[in-house]
Amino acid sequence: MNKVILASASPRRRELLTQIGMEYEVIPALSEEKLPLRKAGGSLGCAGDCRDGEREPLPSEIVELLSAQKAGEVLERLLKEKRSFFTVIGADTVVALDGVVMGKPGSRQEAISMLTRLQGRSHQVYTGVTLIAQNGENEPPLQVIFHEKTDVVMYPMSEAEINAYVDTGEPMDKAGAYGIQGRCAAFIREIHGDYNNVVGLPVGRVYQELKGMGRKR
């Protein structure tokens, strides 16, 4: 198997890869994440000044696009360094409630607002993954892009519980303002789908896709 490059600084994604015994190198993508819009019948790329007939992309489209941006940026840097025989993993996770995407909160008040909307309800967690394998200096890269969705149901949270949880600081670097593997586990009623997907990376699917890419070499 090629050397695996994780294009993310997320400690949770590192922990998941380590958990399954995968050896990897961390080279985080440095570009700012942007959530584009999609023109009806067109391509992703509208930057917020969209006209009639244009729509926001689906959560699954957003995470796939952002994961591809991250993986592509790191791929370019590695190729400039004349490196070969590696596979880049790019990933991005968002929470969606009623089709509205929630990223990471930008402030304490935004975290409180997100949790207030999520508590007592069912929502979806999407993680997009892009795998790009470079199997030789003169070989074209092999790319696989996919996403996983997990449904999560939360118990009701009181205002005091929401404020106390936000005060821990745990929500501030997490999509939807909560960590299922942290203190917010006390408020998770049930999940349907891949638990690791909610943590930040569906490592089972990632491993299987990497095996498949190896067979295509």
Residues 64 and 128: beta-carbon distance below 8 Å: yes
Catalytic-residue membership of 92? yes
The one catalytic residue among 92, 98, 151, 167: 92
Amino acid making up residue 43: S
Contact between 41 and 104 (Cβ < 8 Å): no
- Residue pointed to by tokens 């949270």: 157
Token code pair at residue 193: 């789908």
CA–CA gap between residue 142 and residue 202 (Å, rounded): 20
Q: How far apart are CA 104 and CA 85, in angstroms?
A: 33
Q: Which amino acids are annotated catalytic?
A: 92
